[in-house]
Amino acid sequence: MAKKEQVVYDESKIKTLSSLEHIRLRTGMYIGRTGDGSDYNDGIYILVKEVLDNAIDEFIMGHGTRVDITIDDTTVTVRDFGRGIPLGKVVDCVSRINTGAKYNDDVFQFSVGLNGVGTKAVNALSSSFTIRSIREGKGVEADFEQGKLIAERKLRSVNEANGTFVAFTPDPDIFGDYSFDSEHLRRRLMLYAYLNPDLKIHLNDEVFLSKNGLLDLIKDQCQFEKLYPPFHFREKTFEVAFTHTNRFSEEYYSFVNGQYTTDGGTHLSAFREGLLKGINDFAKKRFDGEDVREGLVGAVAIRIKEPIFESQTKNKLGNTEIRSELVARTRQVIEDLLHRDPKKAEKLITKIEETSKLRKELQSIKKVARERSRAVSIHVPQLKDCKVHLNVKRTKGLNSSIFITEGQSAAGSLISCRDAKTQAIFTLKGKPRNVCSLRRDALYKNIELYNLMRSLDIEDSVQKLRYQKVVLATDADVDGLHIRNLMITFFLRFFPDLIEGGHLLILETPLFRVRNKKKTLYCYSEKERDKATKKLGRGSETTRFKGLGEISPGEFKQFIGPDMRALPVTTHGENAVSEVVEFYMGKNTAERRQYIMENLISDLD
């Protein structure tokens, strides 16, 4: 065997990258992920955010009440009406790391962009980038390509309002084949509007505007779910809003200097603690935190001079020194809000007391369910587990899947062809119960749903989920689709975090098999079937799979292997998931029938 050549480690191996080269080489350090635009956190939206943050900072400091954004295919333009960048520093501010006015408290007191990186990263990661600053009839404009200056022009006697204009095209060499999703953009811009009341943000022909800040946010997120009108408090550096719903989870929106901190941080933990203490002080009781926060939808926004974020993407605040003061301030504000509106406060306390009572009742129901299951069997009879789980209670991060299917026929095919090491099967005995309008105790009274919870190990927390993927494998007919909807309702109603974590998927299996003596093609739609039939010719044979049980184990194996086609269940672009589920799966049969008839008629017209 040839001896591997030894690499010499000497001075020639040491490299010094320019800031531009480092941004392009280590993109993730500056904008997180790249992506193709299908995910809310993909890099192209971070680029928009970085430019927009500068415009928002101008508004916060009292300069400009409007921002214009246009997106034409892959090119983004942002025009604010603030003070404009000082003309002698335009090029430096968008190309030299650690250059900017955000370090100066006199100019920007509550800025989110403190690292002097944001716009430089946009410039470096764009195939083309143009910046123009206008101040008192004069201006400077500069063009860049992949962060390198191409041209700089001085503008005189400009008939434009003061402000800054930026146009950029994310570089396909970095981001590949991408496109902007309008729903992701709308969500981001609406959050900016909530945080900056009276700021008008124009996106193409659409306007985003909020008059009441976080109060509007909570109202929009809850709509008809709220149990009482939201409480709201706002001052220059601190704002909170909250209400309760009948959801089983708690949901928060937290912000620092206009930045949406998706992972929370010090301000969010302080808000949760202060809220509990404020409510307990008002009620003169000691409610449990879980009882107070179940069904809560809250928002908190703070402005501080020197925020410390855990990364350049600014998803989590790390200023621990502000915590105790913020807890005390929240506690005081919450108690005062409750005293000011006793009718709403009474509804809040009633909700918490009912939750506390139901939780105690649920403990006894859980005990009965567990004793019943132990009496029947040590193991769940409907579960064919995978080998990696047979001798361990839970293995986090393991690349394992569980297929939820209906009927012995489909289960038999799956069991015969699965990878027994990593793929488990849970067999439903029939159509599961519709839990849309039910309380949590229904899960313990229904043996099948309780066994499913036990199999997934999510009874106490979704964090204990035993499988990386929960795959719904139902027949491609009316009954199969109904079962699928019932299972999605089950997870949306009681375990939304499982869906938010990307763990729930829908298995796609072929509807048709088209074959001749030489070749077999599997088709997932009628269009694919027609194309395959034409390709294989007249002598081909077409089979319509009515159910999973009709697919032989030998064929099925390729559909659940490494190339498995499975669509993730998401709540993309939906603000009020609970209301949508209630409409389609609730008890409002007459209203739903009327909706179907009206839309059916309009389609026929």
Lowest pLDDT segment from 322-326, 358-362, 369-373, 414-418:
369-373
pLDDT at 23: 85
Q: Cβ distance 363 to 294 under 8 Å? A: no
Half-sphere exposure of 374 (CA within 13 A, CB side): 6
Contacts of 484 (CB under 8 A, 6+ apart): 472, 474, 506
pLDDT at 117: 67
pLDDT at 425: 93
The answer on pLDDT for 431 being more than 80 is yes
Structurally, at CATH architecture level, domain 377-509+545-572 sits in: 3-Layer(aba) Sandwich (3.40)
Q: Cβ distance 573 to 183 under 8 Å? A: yes
- Identify the CATH class of 214-354: alpha beta
pLDDT at 99: 62
So where are the chain's domains? 19-208, 214-354, 377-509+545-572, 578-605
Lowest pLDDT segment from 132-141, 577-586, 595-604:
595-604
Interval 356-372 mean pLDDT:
81
Q: Cβ distance 297 to 243 under 8 Å? A: yes
Half-sphere exposure of 230 (CA within 13 A, CB side): 28
CA distance 462 to 456: 9
Residue 309 pLDDT level (bands cut at 50, 70, 90): confident
* Mean pLDDT for the chain overall: 85
The answer on pLDDT for 342 being more than 70 is yes
Contacts of 599 (CB under 8 A, 6+ apart): none
Q: Could you please state the CATH topology (level 3) that the domain comprising 19-208 is classified under.
A: Heat Shock Protein 90 (3.30.565)
pLDDT at 205: 85
State pTM to two decimals.
0.73
Interval 6-12 mean pLDDT:
73
**First vs last C-alpha separation in the chain:** 77
Sign, CA dihedral 428-430-436-439, equals negative
Q: Which helix (H) or strand (E) holds 372?
A: helix 342-376
Give the model confidence (pLDDT) of 102-122 as tens digits.
444 444 444 544 444 688 899
**In the structure encoding, which two tokens stand for residue 238, read together?**
């601190």
The answer on pLDDT for 599 being more than 60 is yes
Q: Greater confidence, 149 or 310? A: 149
Q: Cβ distance 380 to 453 under 8 Å? A: no
CA distance 161 to 82: 9
Interval 273-283 mean pLDDT:
96
Contacts of 71 (CB under 8 A, 6+ apart): 77, 180, 185, 203, 204
SS (H, E, C) 394-446: CCCCCCCEEEEEECHHHHHHHHHHCCCCCEEEEEECCCCCCCCCCCCCHHHHC
Q: Cβ distance 326 to 267 under 8 Å? A: yes
Sign, CA dihedral 61-64-66-69, equals negative
The answer on pLDDT for 155 being more than 80 is yes
Q: What is the DSSP string of 115-151?
A: SS-HHHHHHHTEEEEEEEEEETTEEEEEEEETTEEEE
Residue 312 pLDDT level (bands cut at 50, 70, 90): low
Residue 393 pLDDT level (bands cut at 50, 70, 90): very low
